[in-house]
């Protein structure tokens, strides 16, 4: 019954979105006033993050115009300006807009906007609908709430492995087939439509890692690049790499069922292996048949091709000998079996709950003295340095920066002495981080709507883009300033409230708050009207 009702709500949301975009596309009057702007700045929320309100959107006639450079830049799309022409270049995406013209060019295809690109106070504005058309994004505008919602994944494809852009940079895009960390300099090989190119990566190159699923963008190294990832490389005129953007999407979970040809995660997602998939279990080559219920799995997927190029599974190693007690606030210690000359005896992590931006956790490794230690946070952030604080004890710390999200992720420890590396250790405690706030999506009754029922069903749905879940205990709903949460039905995905007594005719104000397990909180307020006579 719940699934059915949620499907109905999703369908209603889709219809509302279509109606919203349709209203945006209404033809403008012959001469709209060029300086018409709302008395209250309209908010722009891109993938759950609200942008600065300067420059703010404008309403001109019946059209909503948005500052396009601000939106593209928030999605990691670089923008170059040449006179009246703006060229936006992102992963597999090229958009050309000319000030004063209604025709734009998106990936070589002419797209007609609902009105011309227009400049206000030096910022270029385009109709909101064009943002959806140019990015394949979901876009909605709530006039009552003065709020624009944009949800986009930067998925695009180039027709060849190399394209020369208007800024003189050569852009190499495609799928990574090989990463060579032992050449001097290091290199990466990219293939697109059967064409292959190997590019040397010097220390001056900026490497950016983007995970579309967790909406994480971080600076990285070539160690963070995996075969199968989508990549876009910008080369300077002398052939050196200016910037390398690596893109993948991930899906994490715990195995609930396993067969020789597929596995099922706890959320019901079925994962099969492609011919090109590599599967590892605790860092060693494996097959799907080697995995067991309860294993933690991260599937790394190419967002452009959909290929599952990497399935990373981890399983706790049983403790085989006594270990020292963990200090307060730390995870239980893991002792690795076997005792080679170079050993890791203990590896612990202090995180006991999901973390938000600015919070830290510490890792401790006990093993052979005088070696070099590092730790990985899953496949997201590899080779983070640790220091030897006393003989044989190594400590590292990670502070969660803004823009980083990872759910239920294993932490691995490494110990290297010369050319010898000890067997990799895995901490027993998984770590999670979320800096992208929750999203409050569907609401009812819709903002600005009039209803003739004095006891309407009031609800809102919410989710955590970072995949760490909503804490039901954090959810609150107030109606006309009164906290009615105690009389509402609260779940991890929605809250619904039906008044026990009739509400008076007039405006009804509603505020819903929802927090994730890291403590990030989202708030959404709206009003509707009751008219029974």
Asked if residue 236 and residue 106 are part of one domain, the reply reads: no
Tell me whether residue 268 is in a domain.
yes
Asked if residue 98 and residue 59 are part of one domain, the reply reads: yes
Tell me whether residue 358 is in a domain.
yes
Asked if residue 13 and residue 117 are part of one domain, the reply reads: yes
Radius of gyration of the chain (CA): 26
Kindly state the tokens that stand for 486.
């105690």
pLDDT at position 202 is: 84
Tell me whether residue 334 is in a domain.
no
pLDDT band of residue 25 (cuts 50, 70, 90) is very low
Residue where a domain stops, chosen among 100, 131, 151 = 151
Tell me whether residue 466 is in a domain.
yes
Asked if residue 167 and residue 94 are part of one domain, the reply reads: no
Give the pLDDT confidence of 161-196 residue by residue, as tens digits: 445 555 566 777 778 888 888 777 888 888 865 678
First-to-final CA distance of the chain: 34
C-alpha span between 497 and 30 (Å, rounded):
46
Asked if residue 111 and residue 55 are part of one domain, the reply reads: yes
C-alpha span between 529 and 445 (Å, rounded):
9
What is the three-class DSSP state of 125? strand
Residue where a domain stops, chosen among 106, 127, 151 = 151
C-alpha span between 5 and 414 (Å, rounded):
49
Asked if residue 449 and residue 418 are part of one domain, the reply reads: no
Give the pLDDT confidence of 312-335 residue by residue, as tens digits: 887 765 433 333 333 333 334 344
Tell me whether residue 214 is in a domain.
yes
Contacts of 238 (CB under 8 A, 6+ apart): none
Residue 499 to residues 46, 87, 203, 423, 525, Cα–Cα distance (Å): 33, 53, 63, 61, 18
pTM listed for this prediction = 0.54
- What is the dihedral angle through the alpha carbons of 126, 128, 134, 137, rounded to the nearest 10 degrees? 160
Pairing of strands 118-120, 123-127: antiparallel
| Percent of the chain's residues with pLDDT above 90 | 27
Give buried/exposed letters for 425-441 (b at 16+ CB in 10 A, else e): bbbbbbbbbbbbbbbbb
User: Half-sphere exposure of residue 274, counting CA atoms within 13 Å on the CB side?
Assistant: 14
- What is the dihedral angle through the alpha carbons of 510, 516, 518, 520, rounded to the nearest 10 degrees? -30
Asked if residue 144 and residue 165 are part of one domain, the reply reads: no
Residue 32 to residues 38, 39, 302, 374, 465, Cα–Cα distance (Å): 14, 17, 45, 61, 39
Residue 287 CB-density burial (10 A; 0-12 exposed, 13-18 middle, 19+ buried): exposed
Tell me whether residue 78 is in a domain.
yes
pLDDT band of residue 122 (cuts 50, 70, 90) is low
Give buried/exposed letters for 221-231 (b at 16+ CB in 10 A, else e): bbebbbbbbbb
Residue 226 to residues 176, 220, 340, 437, Cα–Cα distance (Å): 7, 12, 29, 28
- What is the dihedral angle through the alpha carbons of 314, 319, 325, 329, rounded to the nearest 10 degrees? 20
Residue 21 to residues 71, 130, 148, Cα–Cα distance (Å): 17, 10, 11
What is the three-class DSSP state of 31? coil
Q: Which long-range contacts (CB under 8 A, 24 or more apart) does 83-88 make?
A: 85/166, 86/117, 86/124, 87/165, 87/166, 87/167, 88/134
Residue whose structure tokens are 């008219």: 531
Kindly state the tokens that stand for 243.
């910037």
Residue 306 CB-density burial (10 A; 0-12 exposed, 13-18 middle, 19+ buried): exposed
Residue where a domain stops, chosen among 415, 433, 451 = 433
Asked if residue 164 and residue 290 are part of one domain, the reply reads: yes
Asked if residue 302 and residue 216 are part of one domain, the reply reads: yes
Give the CATH number of the domain where residue 519 resides.
Answer: 2.60.40.1220
Of 224, 185, 489, which is closest to residue 377 (Cα–Cα)?
A: 224
pLDDT band of residue 92 (cuts 50, 70, 90) is low
Residue 201 to residues 172, 188, 239, 455, 516, Cα–Cα distance (Å): 13, 7, 10, 64, 39
Contact 508, 472 (CB under 8 A): no
Q: Which stretch of DSSP H or E encloses residue 82? A: strand 78-82
Asked if residue 443 and residue 490 are part of one domain, the reply reads: yes
pLDDT at position 34 is: 39
What is the average pLDDT across 83-103? Answer: 82
What is the average pLDDT across 102-129? Answer: 85
pLDDT at position 336 is: 45
pLDDT band of residue 132 (cuts 50, 70, 90) is confident
Give the CATH number of the domain where residue 356 resides.
Answer: 2.60.40
Q: CA angle, corner 205, sides to 203 and 210, nearest 5?
A: 120
Asked if residue 162 and residue 311 are part of one domain, the reply reads: yes
pLDDT at position 326 is: 37
Tell me whether residue 146 is in a domain.
yes
Q: Which one has a higher pLDDT value, 23 or 197?
A: 197
Tell me whether residue 327 is in a domain.
no
Asked if residue 235 and residue 138 are part of one domain, the reply reads: no
> Cβ atoms within 10 A of the Cβ of 139, count?
23
What region does 286 belong to: left with phi over 0, alpha with psi -120 to 50, or beta? beta
Give the CATH number of the domain where residue 110 resides.
Answer: 3.30.457.10
What is the three-class DSSP state of 390? strand
Domain housing 513 = 439-530
pLDDT band of residue 6 (cuts 50, 70, 90) is very low
Count of domains in the chain? 4
pLDDT at position 396 is: 96
Averaged confidence pLDDT in the chain: 78
DSSP string, 240-268: -EEEEEEEEEEEEEEEEEE-SSEEEETTS
For 401, phi and psi rounded to 5 degrees?
-85, 160
Q: Which stretch of DSSP H or E encloses residue 199? A: strand 195-201
C-alpha span between 100 and 34 (Å, rounded):
13
């Amino acid at each position: 019954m719940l699934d059915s009702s949620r499907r109905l709500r999703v369908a209603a949301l889709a219809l509302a979105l279509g109606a919203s975009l349709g209203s945006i596309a209404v033809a403008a009057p012959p001469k709209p006033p060029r300086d018409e702007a709302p008395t209250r700045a309209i908010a722009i929320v891109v993938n759950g993050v609200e942008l600065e309100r300067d420059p703010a959107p404008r309403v001109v006639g019946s059209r909503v115009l948005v500052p396009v450079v601000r939106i593209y830049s928030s999605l990691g799309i670089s923008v170059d300006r040449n006179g009246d022409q703006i060229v936006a270049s992102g992963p597999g995406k090229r958009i050309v807009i000319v000030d004063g013209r209604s025709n734009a060019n998106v990936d070589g295809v002419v797209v007609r906007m609902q009105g011309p690109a227009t400049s206000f106070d030096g910022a270029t504005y385009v109709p909101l609908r064009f943002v959806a058309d140019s990015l394949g994004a979901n876009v909605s505008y709530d006039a009552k709430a003065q709020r624009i919602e944009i949800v986009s994944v930067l998925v695009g494809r180039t027709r060849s492995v190399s394209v020369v852009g208007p800024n003189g940079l050569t852009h190499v895009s495609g799928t990574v087939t090989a990463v060579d960390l032992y050449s001097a300099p290091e290199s990466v090989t990219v293939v697109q439509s059967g064409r292959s190119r190997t590019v040397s990566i010097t220390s001056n190159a900026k490497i950016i890692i983007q995970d579309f699923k967790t909406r994480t963008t971080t600076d990285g190294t070539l160690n963070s690049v995996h075969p199968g990832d989508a990549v876009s490389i910008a080369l300077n005129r002398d052939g050196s790499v200016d910037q390398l953007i690596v893109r993948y999407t991930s899906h994490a979970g715990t195995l609930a069922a396993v067969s020789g040809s597929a596995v099922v995660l706890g959320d019901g997602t079925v994962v099969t292996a492609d011919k090109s998939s590599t599967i590892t279990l605790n860092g060693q080559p494996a097959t799907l048949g080697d995995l067991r219920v309860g294993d933690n799995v991260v599937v790394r997927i190419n967002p452009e091709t959909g290929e599952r190029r990497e399935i990373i599974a981890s399983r706790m190693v049983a403790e085989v000998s006594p270990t020292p007690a963990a200090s307060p606030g730390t995870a239980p210690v893991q002792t690795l079996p076997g005792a080679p000359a170079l050993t890791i005896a203990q590896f612990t992590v202090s995180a006991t709950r999901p973390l938000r931006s600015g919070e830290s956790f510490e890792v401790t490794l006990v093993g052979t003295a005088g070696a070099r230690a590092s730790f990985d946070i899953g496949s997201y952030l590899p080779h983070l340095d640790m220091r030897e604080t006393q003989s044989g004890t190594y400590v590292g710390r990670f502070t969660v920066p803004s823009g980083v999200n990872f759910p239920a992720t294993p932490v691995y420890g490494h110990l290297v002495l010369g050319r010898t590396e000890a067997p990799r250790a895995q901490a027993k405690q998984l770590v999670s981080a979320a800096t992208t706030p929750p999203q409050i999506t569907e609401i009812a009754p819709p903002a600005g709507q009039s209803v003739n029922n004095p006891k309407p069903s009031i609800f809102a749905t919410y989710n955590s883009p970072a995949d760490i879940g909503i804490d039901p205990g954090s959810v609150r709903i107030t109606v006309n300033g009164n906290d009615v949460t105690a009389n509402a039905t609260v779940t991890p995905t929605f809250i619904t409230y039906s008044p026990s007594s009739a509400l008076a005719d007039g405006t009804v104000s509603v505020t819903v708050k929802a927090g994730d397990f890291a403590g990030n909180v989202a708030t959404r307020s709206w009003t509707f009207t009751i008219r029974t006579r």
